[in-house]
Structure 1
Amino acid sequence: MDTQEFLKKRKFIIQLGKALHKFGTPAYRLEAHLRRVASTLGIEGYFLITPTTMTFVLQHDADQEYNHMARVNPGDLDLGSLARTDELVNQLLEGERTLDDAIERLQEIADKPAPYGRLMTGLSFMLSPAAFAMLMGTSWQDVFWSGILGLPVYLLVIAAEKSRRMAEMLEPLAAILCAIGACAIAHISPQLNIPVVVLSAIIIFIPGLALTLGLAELAARDLMSGTARIMDAMMLMCKLYFGGMLGLVIGHAIFGDVPQVIPVPLERWHSWLAVPILSATLVILFKARSKDAPWGIIAGIIAFIAAQIGGIYLGESMGIFVGAFAVGIYANLYSRWQKAPASIALLQGIVILVPGSKTYIGLNALISGEVMLNQAQIGAQVFLIFMSLVAGLIFSNVAVTPRSTL
């Protein structure tokens, strides 16, 4: 390999790593993928990835070594770009594209605008809180107002895209405004469950998936990235909780206290309606391709059904293990059938199972002593659910080997 060819391959590997990191690929999967790509291209590579830093060590020959370090921002999930990047890598490794074409195409993927317009994305920000409230087993009015409060949250997200200052305070500000709004709405609908409505309205920010990925990285012995991701998720959870509590204090000061009346909960079968709705909104929020959308929705349904069946025989917390195991196997089979990253189906299914909301509820119980929705021993449940999720994913990869590292 001459020096010019090495420089091209080096450029592609570095751009590939940064792109996949930007699209939300976990560190342990990204490192393994980059090692595979570098080895196939005839380069010996070593990689150290965390949510905020990337280190590349690439060897040209025994005497020449190239090091590259970059400071990056934590990536956001973009499953559509992830799938396109995986296709590009496969085309390059199979000789269907030249290295120059691959570098140019990689840049096009990174610069590609969001696949769904403002209208559909805004609708998803409204439907996802409503669907989550249905899963929480609260009342119809809680479901309705949770969806309504999802709209101002989306407007804040749009503002954060244009302003760095807004982006820095997006999550706590959204929690503050939703809490104040819920206090105001409670005077119109006195049976409103204010804490549940606030939690549902900001559910898009609750870092349950980030906590799960962080624990998965720790289980894969990627200690630096796993610890950093978990601490970042916990700090985000604290900011959301503080914003919610501050908003409630301000709301009660402005509108006064409203007597809490226990609302009439929805029937259990409504959860089965909520799951496909929530899964469909995740397709848009995670920017998945339209052709991958049905697979993602099916993943959410499989995860929920398997967890429900497992919960009947093993209990709620351990039932999550069955759900994670089932959706892990499904994702790996999907990866083989469609020749696409397993993450596309896996993440959309896992989101249905992650106990991000219970983590928030547990934080509320720890600080205020209040228990939302009569969920006792929430701390032990959260711990068992997270461990069940990670164990289910590990066992599923043993049962069905994934097609690729992504």
Structure 2
Amino acid sequence: MGAVDTPRRTLRTLDLALRIGETLLANGAGTADVQATMSSICHHLGLRGTYVDVTYVMLTIIHQHDLDEVPLALRRNVQHRETDFEDLTDVDLVVSRLLADEIDLDEARRQIAAISTRGHPRPRWSVIASGGLVGAGIALLIGGDWIVALIAAVAAWLIEVIRHRMARRRLPEFYIQVAGGLCASLLAVGAAALHIPANPSLVISANIVVLLAGLGFIGAIQDALTGYYLTAGARVFEVLLSTVGIIVGVSTGLMAGGMLGVDVANQTSLPALSQLPAVIGGAALAAMAFAHSSYAPWRIIVPVGLIAGPAAGLITAIGNTGLDRSFAAAVGAIAIGVVSYPVSRWGRVPTLVVVVSAIVPMLPGLTIYRSLSQLAEENLSGIFQGITAGGIAVALAAGVIFGEYIAQPLARETRRLERRLAGPRLVGPFRAKSRRRELKHLS
């Protein structure tokens, strides 16, 4: 642990903490985890009494060496960009090495700069292809056959292309979601107009999940549960705005189908127990494809599928007993949270990478579509379906976090500062010194 004895070193330490915090927050880490990680870095490098403030768009760090000195404050805007789990993993590894005294301040700064400027490691075509596989997997999960899966995959590919082109033009996320929802619904309407033997409701439902994937459900709930209500409110509002964009796009497509005389009325139902193999396989495929499209390290992609598949089967089995769907989602999510902790330790990735990828197939696309269909028919039951969809989303996010509370041991070596600032750690250091053997193995 080095002592900070010069203004230049103090600035370099604060800048390193800011850059690491920006990468973590931009890739979906919770506010508590970001604040605890930044504070741990400053404390380890000799800065005592450093104040860290995290909002959804800005990081602020303040240090005052003595009471009679002017405080030093640095701020950094957070650039929200495409999720990159490999960046998240590598930054987490740099933090662990720094806190384990494997590297010094200058080497940590060099590695963080390299991570921030290297770009995405996989070609764009593979990410688009993965998006199609997410759509196909979700279609199987919600009870579709191979024709539905194929059409859902084509729709998801088109959605990924449209989203990428619109994002390059820096259009707001709301309009991107509207375009994606419109694309999915129009393709389903077209398939119905051509009398293709595929359930258009399942095609649209599958692609609603594709559009919901990657939104900050887990981060928002984690922030709310850990007391960061301002940032939680910002994340929830962003999620709601994006979801409204999906609803607007899908509703417009359904309206166009109605004007053309194409019937795309709600024809969905929960998968039966006899469809469990397809449910498990579809969930595993969707989770692995999402992990790949989010640039998760190769070593964790298959384990993600092995977690998501049985969890989806468990949720389906509970749902067929007649119990509340939010309860079923919570039970499956808790199972994901409990299993994800040891799997992430084995795979040497932040737990966030595993839980987000595994939870994506369980997002309530089917329930959202039911709500839209019923509201389009002026059936007020659609309001209750919308409330149910929100309940399922909250149950999923809260469930995986509760699973982490159960699975994540509070070891004696854990820093007191980290225990005070964060609940279950989805990203960031746990026990720096105990990981030296693992870090030497990676080197």
1:287 pairs with 2:269? no
Question: Structure 2: how far apart are the matches of 1:79 and 1:260?
Answer: 38
1:47 pairs with 2:52? yes
Shift of 1:387: 4.6
Give the counterpart of 2:162 among 149, 156, 159.
Answer: 156
| 223 and 207 in structure 1: CA distance in 2 versus 1, 3 angstrom threshold | farther
SS in structure 2 of the partner of residue 55 of structure 1: strand
Question: Structure 2: how far apart are the matches of 1:14 and 1:190?
Answer: 54
Correspondence for 2:279? 271
What RMSD in Å do the two structures reach over aligned CA positions?
3.1
Correspondence for 1:385? 392
1:23 pairs with 2:27? yes
Instruction: Please identify, of 305-314 and 95-104, the stretch whose mean Cα deviation from structure 2 is larger.
Output: 305-314
Q: Which whole-Å deviations, capped at 9, do the CAs of 1:368-388 have from their partners, x for residues lacking one?
A: 54699xx99534533543453
Instruction: Please tell me the residue identity of whatever aligns with 1:174.
Output: G
Give the counterpart of 1:2 among 3, 6, 15.
Answer: 6
| 208 and 225 in structure 1: CA distance in 2 versus 1, 3 angstrom threshold | same
SS in structure 2 of the partner of residue 186 of structure 1: helix
Instruction: Please identify, of 89-98 and 197-206, the stretch whose mean Cα deviation from structure 2 is larger.
Output: 197-206
1:137 pairs with 2:143? yes
CA contact (8 A) 2:216 2:235 kept: yes
SS in structure 2 of the partner of residue 169 of structure 1: helix
Shift of 1:168: 6.5
Question: Structure 2: how far apart are the matches of 1:397 and 1:130?
Answer: 29
1:327 pairs with 2:336? yes
Question: Structure 2: how far apart are the matches of 1:18 and 1:369?
Answer: 45
1:36 pairs with 2:40? yes
Question: Structure 2: how far apart are the matches of 1:28 and 1:41?
Answer: 20
| 2 and 260 in structure 1: CA distance in 2 versus 1, 3 angstrom threshold | closer
Instruction: Please tell me the residue identity of whatever aligns with 1:352.
Output: P
Instruction: Please identify, of 194-203 and 91-100, the stretch whose mean Cα deviation from structure 2 is larger.
Output: 194-203
Instruction: Please identify, of 263-272 and 155-164, the stretch whose mean Cα deviation from structure 2 is larger.
Output: 263-272
Instruction: Please tell me the residue identity of whatever aligns with 1:397.
Output: E
Instruction: Please tell me the residue identity of whatever aligns with 1:324.
Output: A
Q: Which whole-Å deviations, capped at 9, do the CAs of 1:14-55 have from their partners, x for residues lacking one?
A: 111112222221222212222222222222332232322322
CA contact (8 A) 1:150 1:202 kept: no
| 166 and 155 in structure 1: CA distance in 2 versus 1, 3 angstrom threshold | farther
Correspondence for 2:152? 146
Give the counterpart of 1:343 among 342, 349, 352.
Answer: 352
Question: Structure 2: how far apart are the matches of 1:352 and 1:201?
Answer: 11
Question: Structure 2: how far apart are the matches of 1:263 and 1:192?
Answer: 12
Instruction: Please tell me the residue identity of whatever aligns with 1:45.
Output: T
Correspondences of 1:82-161 after superposition (within 5 Å): 82-161=88-167
Bigger RCO (CA 8 Å, 6+ sep) = 2
CA contact (8 A) 2:140 2:278 kept: yes
Aligned residues: 403
Instruction: Please tell me the residue identity of whatever aligns with 2:56.
Output: P
Q: Which whole-Å deviations, capped at 9, do the CAs of 1:140-160 have from their partners, x for residues lacking one?
A: 432221111122212213313
- Which ranges of structure 1 fall in alignment gaps of 5 or more residues? none
Instruction: Please identify, of 396-405 and 99-108, the stretch whose mean Cα deviation from structure 2 is larger.
Output: 396-405
Question: Structure 1: how far apart are the matches of 2:368 and 2:52?
Answer: 32
Shift of 1:281: 0.4
Instruction: Please tell me the residue identity of whatever aligns with 1:389.
Output: L
SS in structure 1 of the partner of residue 137 of structure 2: helix
Correspondence for 2:433? none
Give the counterpart of 1:67 among 64, 73, 96.
Answer: 73
Instruction: Please tell me the residue identity of whatever aligns with 1:2.
Output: T
SS in structure 1 of the partner of residue 71 of structure 2: strand
Q: Which whole-Å deviations, capped at 9, do the CAs of 1:330-352 have from their partners, x for residues lacking one?
A: 22223444553211212222223
Moved over 6 A (4+): 263-266
| 100 and 261 in structure 1: CA distance in 2 versus 1, 3 angstrom threshold | closer
Provide TM-score, normalisation by structure 1.
Answer: 0.87
